[in-house]
A and B are shown apart, each in its own frame.
Chain A
């Protein structure tokens, strides 16, 4: 059976009904997955309680706490690095240096 040779799929169009049904099915599966597993595991958000039962909510809660701490640390680190760079430059470049 010859396959279509170009990037255009076969000419007959699917029905709008089939498209809408499939899109809604894709969306429904995505929402269920998000609510029961992804959001609990990533952010500790567990609207259905399924994440707690599966043990995923704990993971998300730890991740969010660590991310919060990392965000605070990063701000402090950036300030400290700037200061250290300034100090290092001052040591490396004596005032009378031409470099």
Chain B
């Protein structure tokens, strides 16, 4: 994944490659929530915020990426900056994706999210510095991957088949919920990390931990890519 390509062009190319009719399949979504959303219509701020938060707190792919992003961030100011960039990225594509109704195949987007986990782990291991002399700007990278994470969120909302009534306020509420859930999850990760950093094992195990994160990213990619081909065979 190159980060020097302008964001819009990268988006256009990837959209052209992977836009596909979404498979009507409860993918990564609790069927209870989907059922609820198909029953109701109108402005429902708190329920949508709750679902956004739930998606983030229970979304291990987003959490793994965030863990990678904050792994070597020690100052709260940096954490806030990177999380804001990530949030800006995924808010844009979440809103744009749902409002335009452009459905990106959930499996391919989730595979890219898996790739973002691999990328961040490699970045933490300083592979790009070693291999290319310099790493891609980490701020741009987190923003670009934020855009992809947002496409994943948009695809999930589209899969909910929510009523068009009150869609915009509901989406904003969902997005606020995503941020709240992200803050909740991040606080827990940060608390655990700061305890770990105070022990001697952090320096010794940081390498292994990032290799483990990378491995998990590869598993996510394989899981989603195979899912893409399996559901294709349904011919829906």
Contacts and interface: CB of A to CB of B under 8 A. Distances in A.
A and B are interacting partners: yes
Prevailing SS type, chain A contact patch: helix
Given A31-B222, A42-B227, A75-B236, A16 B26 contact: no
A53 interface: no
10 contacts: A3-B197, A13-B129, A13-B130, A26-B214, A27-B215, A30-B215, A30-B218, A33-B219, A67-B25, A75-B24
B33 interface: no
A34 B124 CA distance: 24
A8 B130 CA distance: 14
Central interface residue in B24, B73, B231, by most chain A CB within 10 Å: B24
Contact of A26 (B73, B82, B218): B218
B130 A14 contact: yes
Interface string A29-41: 1110110001100
A70 B231 CA distance: 11
Looking at chain A, what size class is its interface with the partner chain? 35 or more
B236 A71 contact: yes
Contacts of B161: 78
A38 B72 contact: no
A64 B218 CA distance: 22
Interface string B159-177: 0010000000000000000
A42 B122 CA distance: 27
Nearest to A13: B130
Contact of B125 (A22, A43, A67): A22
A45 B211 contact: no
B138 A23 contact: no
A97 interface: no
Interface in A40-68: 42-43, 45, 64, 67-68
